Structure 1
């Protein structure tokens, strides 16, 4: 069976029969990678906001004061870049845009109202998750590129003051947008019950997968039974 038959399945994804059915969604390595990235984002947001406006300078106390904040902030950014790069390599293929994603976006009202039975079946990630993934991928590239330009300790001699000013403006705007995207991501994870468990324990119930990511679950069941994804298969969806 070719990889394209199971385009939404990633390494480690599997269905485990039982009561309830368990579905392995994230490996231990993926979860560690995710939480390192999340912690870096929080630390960068707090340290960055402390330098963003005088009224937020009190946040620098979390990092030992203004000087330490300016020193630590860019190094956390470096860790974030490599950590997110690890996530990107793991998840980019399952986040490619599909036809059903456009339909999912068109039915955004059903998403908000909780009428998921009216939505098209989606793979491991829905359109909203994919938008967050590609938005963060783009924003982190912008942040690291602009951050290098304004990292005067190491790169100040390679850029002009005018370039640094533009880079600082771009960096600030991208950071604010990234914080907003991160807030949406966290809110959605809390809103959809069971999502946080997936990234802490690595598994979800069959019922959760059936309700939120039915196409992905069908592919996993097909893999287990050695059938093409187009074959009709009975799926247990216990909650």
Structure 2
């Protein structure tokens, strides 16, 4: 059986500060700014996109100054999103790689929903749910950008046929609905697990919060080394 190499779950800027209570740095200022730019772009894209999705939602164009302005700025907000999310992707992708414990975590989703943390495997900086959101949004945004280029008539209409643009509109709309759904789940989870939302504002959490929700991450910050998953196993195992 192939041995699983221990991995370090922390990133530069993560640190533990003794005190009452213990404070744990979780997100640096650049990471938080990057996150909130991405979040604002997603909200603006959702509102402007929905306003063009169906006549009953056209009133949302009033938020942007009218239909013509909404149609003009929607793709440019998408451009900002691309660069902002790319920054997040490069910053967080390694810590969101799938691990064996993540499968166990998802298989015990009932315990997750019931907040039975003691029945779950120790979690690194991100749990399986957060990883699913990360990779789902990465894929969805990639598809949205690709199809968005196809239907951006002002600059790219000459490169694609009408049938291609129609298919792109259909795919773009469907992926946008999925992206909005994933975003809603992400926001709900951040509010549901108390302390998660404030961590992305202040940049730190308490030691108690880290111990309960991301114990493996906290242990590695304290010891300065990853936990060997093969430690304590016999040769027969």
TM-score of the pair, normalised by structure 1: 0.92
Is the 2:9–2:124 Cα contact (8 Å) retained in structure 1?
A: yes
Q: How does 1:79-228 map to 2 (within 5 A)?
A: 79-223=80-224
Is the 2:8–2:226 Cα contact (8 Å) retained in structure 1?
A: no
Number of equivalences? 225
1:229 alignment partner in structure 2: 227
Is the 2:111–2:119 Cα contact (8 Å) retained in structure 1?
A: yes
Q: How does 1:26-65 map to 2 (within 5 A)?
A: 26-65=27-66
Q: Tell me the CA shift for residue 37 of structure 1.
A: 0.2
Q: Tell me the CA shift for residue 213 of structure 1.
A: 0.4
Give unpaired runs (5+ residues) of structure 1: 232-239
Aligned-residue CA RMSD (Å): 1.3
Q: Tell me the CA shift for residue 21 of structure 1.
A: 0.7
- SS across alignment from 2:205: strand
Is the 2:9–2:226 Cα contact (8 Å) retained in structure 1?
A: no
Q: Tell me the CA shift for residue 222 of structure 1.
A: 1.0
Is the 2:34–2:84 Cα contact (8 Å) retained in structure 1?
A: yes
Quick one: structure 1 residues 90 and 228, their matched pair in 2 at CA, closer, same or farther if it must change by over 3 Å? closer
Q: Tell me the CA shift for residue 229 of structure 1.
A: 3.4
Q: Which string of whole-angstrom CA distances, capped at 9 and with x for unpartnered residues, describes residues 132-177 of structure 1?
A: 0000000000000000000000000000000000000000000000
Counterpart Cα distance in 2 of 1:209 and 1:156: 50
Counterpart Cα distance in 1 of 2:61 and 2:106: 40
Quick one: structure 1 residues 209 and 28, their matched pair in 2 at CA, closer, same or farther if it must change by over 3 Å? same
- SS across alignment from 1:15: strand
Is the 1:6–1:219 Cα contact (8 Å) retained in structure 2?
A: no
Q: Tell me the CA shift for residue 7 of structure 1.
A: 2.1
